């Protein structure tokens, strides 16, 4: 990784891409990273359009086009490697990355998750928080390891749960916070704010959002 130049970021998405849009909005404001590629597992992912509007290269690597999960992972890895990323962001990417991908980019893959990990990993995190009856949840930006939402935590921000919240309302309010926390964290990574320990923050930062 070049220590001085603008960092290249490849974003993986599956759907709406509101986090991708937030990252793109921040790059317009002048940051030390650039979204250089967007890859989706679904051709219909709305977020692909945000990238195309800005002439950012996009690619679709669909599991349907491959005979098994291993082959799909190999194709995804090949596509990611072509984009020469400094950082990879999974922003609403609804598939688990295979070990080959993770080992190729150790501590270079960043994920955003809609809960205060380690609480409520996996799918439907806002629903899990409501069902558990907690009064505060939030979002986490973390590095990806081979577990599900278990990698080193980079940043977290809290979101109160209101009495009238349903799953959709709560997720919408969490996402509004994600849209600040993810670009802010990526900027910190791009400028090596997480030194002195290479790439793993110590101690964990807490956003003031």
With CB under 6 A as the contact rule, which of the stretches 75-83, 112-120, 129-137, 188-196 interacts with ligand GRF?
112-120
Residue 185: exposure state from Cβ atoms within 10 A (0-12, 13-18, ≥19): buried
- The tokens describing 16, both together, are 């709406």
Q: Does 112 bind ligand GRF (CB under 6 A)?
A: yes
187 scored as a contact of ligand GRF (CB under 6 A): no
Rule CB under 6 A: is residue 130 a binding residue for ligand GRF? no
Candidates 17-25, 95-103, 154-162, 194-202; binding stretch for ligand GRF (CB under 6 A): 17-25
Residue from 91, 101, 116, 153 touching ligand GRF (CB under 6 A): that is 91
18 touches ligand GRF by CB under 6 A: yes
Choice from 41, 86, 165, 178 touching ligand GRF (CB under 6 A) = 178
Lay out the site mask for ligand GRF across 19-38 (x = CB under 6 A, - = otherwise): x-------------------
26 is catalytic: no
Residues recognised as catalytic: 113
Binding residues for ligand GRF, per CB under 6 A?
Answer: 13, 15-19, 91-92, 112-114, 175, 178
């Amino acid at each position: 990784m070049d220590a001085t130049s603008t960092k290249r970021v490849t974003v993986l998405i599956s759907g709406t891409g509101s986090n991708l849009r937030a990252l793109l909005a921040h790059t317009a404001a002048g940051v030390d990273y650039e979204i250089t590629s967007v890859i989706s597992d679904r051709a219909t992912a709305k977020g692909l359009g945000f990238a195309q509007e800005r002439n950012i290269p996009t690619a679709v690597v669909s599991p349907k086009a491959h005979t098994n999960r291993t082959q799909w992972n190999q194709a995804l890895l090949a596509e990611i490697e072509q984009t020469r990323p400094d950082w990879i962001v999974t922003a609403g990417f609804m598939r688990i990355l295979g070990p080959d991908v993770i080992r190729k980019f150790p501590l270079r893959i960043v994920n955003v998750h809609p809960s205060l990990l380690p609480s409520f990993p996996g799918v439907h995190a806002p629903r899990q928080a409501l069902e558990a009856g907690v009064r505060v949840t939030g979002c986490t930006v973390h590095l990806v390891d081979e577990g599900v939402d278990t990698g080193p935590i980079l940043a977290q921000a809290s979101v109160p749960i209101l009495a009238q919240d349903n799953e959709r309302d709560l997720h919408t309010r969490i996402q509004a916070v994600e849209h600040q926390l993810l670009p802010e964290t990526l900027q910190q990574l791009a400028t090596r704010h997480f030194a002195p320990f290479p790439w793993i923050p110590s101690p964990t930062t807490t956003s003031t959002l």
